[in-house]
Amino acid sequence: MTAGQAEGDVVDEENGGLSSAEAAAQLDRFGPNELARPPRRPWWRLLVSQLTHFFALLLWGAAALALLAGMPTLAVAIAVIVLLNGVFAYAQEHRADRAAQKLGSLMPASTRILRDGRMQEVSAAQVVPGDVVLLEAGDRVPADGTLLRSEEVAADESMLTGESVPVHKPVGTEIRAATFLVQGSGRALVTATGARTEVASVAGLISSARRPPSPLDRELDRLVRIIAAVALTVGVVLGVISLLLGGTATGALLFAVGVSVALVPEGLLPTVTLSLARGAQRMAESKALVRHLEAVETLGSTTFICTDKTGTLTRNEMTVVEIWTPAGRVVPQGVGYEPTGSVSGEQAAVRTAAEAAGAARACVTGRAVLEDGAWHPAGDPMEVAIDVVAARLDTDRTDPRIRVPFVTERRFSAAVVGGRGYFLGAPERILPGCGPPGEAAAPVLTAYADEGRRVVAVARSGTRREPSTSAELADLLEGPMELLALLAIEDPPRDGVREALESCRTAGIRVAMMTGDNARTAAAIATEVGLLRPGGVVVEGAGLPAEDAALADLLDDARGAVVARVTPADKLRIANALRLHGHVVAMTGDGVNDAAALRGADVGVAMGLGGSDVARDAADLVLLDDHFATIVKAIELGRATYANIRRFLTFHLTDNVAELAPFAVWALSGGSIPPALGVLQILALDIGTDMLPALALGAEPPSRRTMDGPRPRERVASGSVLHRAFLVLGPVEAVAAVAAFVWVLTGGGWEPGATPGATLLTQASGTAFAVIAISQVANAFACRSESRPAWRVDPRRNPLVLAAVAVEIVLLAAFLGLPWLSEMLGGSWPSAEGWWWALGAGSALLLVDRVHKAWRSIRRRSTTA
């Protein structure tokens, strides 16, 4: 069948395909040729999941308790926070998720088949076993089958095998659904459709893989459980004390509920979500699209990257990088498919190289074509590389009078140009007939192979007899030959990959290459880019240890690792083994075969340019430029997000200590000292004054030292964070607030155990409120760094902190200065001395913070000495 035939043309062939009746019977038996859709939760379930995780449930409980305690305004405020946060998180993930397509998009919409002895175009879903499918270059294969006819058929199977080089397909070989023809034409007998195809088996592997919970999920779940336990315990204890001090049962219950609600950090949930969203936005600006917000922090935890080779470490643009001729070497300049450039080499060598390149181009059909202002490959990438280098050598395009196409059995193609036969093929097929020049080329061939380069030989017939048929042209190869050149072809490394890999090494991140290519080529590229150092691991998938522990030990090598001829099951097993070995694993991939491993890794990273929709659907992160360096940038931003979460967590927990202190003092004093703050004041601090500075801390940019050394394997709420908040900064705020409260009361004539006047109490409470708020202003600057004092951190690096602090001060003035607000909250405008108390408390916090950081620095130096 040729491209010129039209639908309905009668085909007078030995195999005219099935009849309509036979096809209908097969369709009833095997079902439509469709891949099972991966299970996807409906949108409403995704939204509900954002409103019912443990932290959200805790806040829903707090809202219910606030309603029970007679504070409907508070209940509504908490509910609005949960709803807004849930809708925002859902929108963030749903927006990214829309870019991913279903697995079924791999199958063509329609295809051409032989049926009832005629060519027909039918829906791909109607293809059944026994059909004869007609294929041409550019077609996607609709089902698994066996080639009945092959005219230079070469198929790109990278989506299934990971092999970057198109595979030549002679008659009798298998051809698989979802692959596509890069050259040639042919026909195939369908042997399997739908769920019975190989791509469907890969889909089953995808559905069996389960995404593990992220480190942040586990950390927040742990932290929220601790907070919930502390809030409820404190509430119950203080409620009991209230009863013991003579309060009513109802009053004690409401008091306990109010305190419990107040101690829940309502602002923490939206702060975490917005911080992750900010990190996701920064990653998108760096060409990395985050599909799941938790992946932002997980990236920062990454300790092992399993990366593809083609298109990620390399450009995925085959290029002739050197031409060896008997007269010398020629080095073409230029990378990619744009056919402009220059060459360097001796004049005689350049002439021979030009003849060889022109002859090689006549032997192939791949071409570089200009589309939309850019050059793209059309056909086999290696053949396109030959076309490009011929253009760079300024050779004329000559249509051959006769051309013999490449087939696997012959291992060469040939053409007649200018009355002479030229041959292009595997060196082991061409060199034996080339005499001493062929023998001289053998060491060069070995050197090229050691460098991981593909090599093709170009020769011309030793006689000037012009063949008149393809058979005569092929026969010339058996006679004496003149070797013209060896063309060394490689997929060159991407710019910046070596630097990115060095950054990984500095950051303590191990890297392994996972590829479907052969071990020699993969190891050469890995060595060239700096991934593989002397003594590193090079292994093929078939040689991987059977035990997961041994597998992880093998690949966990600081000198780098390369796994060649890897299968989809291998990649998934490697990800699981490394995770069990203690690593947080980022796995890259672009094909359908990679999707299971992408889902099973801690972070799945898919290619946005050259990847399949299935891979993107399974991934957490999509690289919009397919560049390995973008992964490293995303890890840097993830580390910055992790540090930011620790910053605002310290900020929030410090405030909680100060908010708890007035109730603790009231309880410990047996009720002789009234609570310095009311429940609504605590909520005003949490949701009002503290929210924006915490969000600003969540937007802190990465420091220059973010990728210096491994990220400390600490919990987000680590001992150092809790120590700093609960034992250093929090006590400063707590003591200052309670001391200011008592100072104002005693200055007004109050004595412990007495009931203060309403005006005096509200002024004292307003002073305590101001002390905590101003201390939190200082705390915002202190939390910008875990090692440097606040005055040594450049405020221009994060102007959002300055803006947030300005808004916090305005809100503080409103809460204390607007009569209706101050009356509702229970605190009035402080005296001048009260404001001095607040400023002094902020200064004291900065001073204590400076001393604590200096002490920590001294301890670290003494520990490492």
Q: Are 621 and 604 in contact (CB under 8 A)?
A: yes
Structure tokens at 90: 């859902």
Quote the CA–CA distance of 841 and 835 in Å, as a whole number. Answer: 10
User: How far, in whole angstroms, is CA 398 from its chain's centroid?
Assistant: 46
308 is known as an active-site residue: yes
Quote the radius of gyration of the chain (alpha carbons, Å).
35
| Residues ≥6 apart with Cβ < 8 Å to 825 | 678, 680, 681, 684, 769, 815
Quote the CA–CA distance of 149 and 42 in Å, as a whole number. Answer: 45
**Which residue in 308, 491, 686, 690 is the catalytic one?**
308
User: Residue 33 burial by CB count (10 A; 0-12/13-18/19+): exposed, middle or buried?
Assistant: buried
Quote the CA–CA distance of 411 and 415 in Å, as a whole number. Answer: 14
DSSP 10: B
Structure tokens at 332: 């073409």
Cα dihedral across residues 68, 73, 76, 80: positive or negative: negative
Using DSSP bridges, classify how beta strands 603-607 and 585-589 pair: parallel, antiparallel or unpaired: parallel
Quote the CA–CA distance of 716 and 782 in Å, as a whole number. Answer: 18
- Residue 566 CB: number of other CB atoms within 10 A? 29
DSSP 110: E
For 389, 762, 763, 768, the CA distances from 757, given in Å and listed in that order, are: 93, 9, 10, 16
Phi–psi pair at 168, nearest 5 degrees: -75, 135
DSSP 493: B
Q: Are 301 and 638 in contact (CB under 8 A)?
A: yes
Q: Are 326 and 434 in contact (CB under 8 A)?
A: no
Quote the CA–CA distance of 340 and 476 in Å, as a whole number. Answer: 34
Q: Are 504 and 511 in contact (CB under 8 A)?
A: yes
- Looking up tokens 């600081």 gives 558
| DSSP-H helix ranges across 495-627 | 497-506, 519-529, 548-555, 568-580, 595-600, 613-618
DSSP 311: T
Q: Are 696 and 800 in contact (CB under 8 A)?
A: yes
Quote the CA–CA distance of 393 and 351 in Å, as a whole number. Answer: 9
User: Residue 571 burial by CB count (10 A; 0-12/13-18/19+): exposed, middle or buried?
Assistant: buried
Q: Which residues pair with 180 in a beta bridge?
A: 140, 156
User: Residue 832 burial by CB count (10 A; 0-12/13-18/19+): exposed, middle or buried?
Assistant: exposed
Helix axes 215-244, 294-301, angle to 10 degrees: 110
| Residues ≥6 apart with Cβ < 8 Å to 181 | 135, 136, 137, 138, 139, 141, 153, 154, 155, 156
Structure tokens at 372: 């939309």
User: Residue 623 burial by CB count (10 A; 0-12/13-18/19+): exposed, middle or buried?
Assistant: buried
- Looking up tokens 């032989």 gives 114
Residues that are catalytic: 308
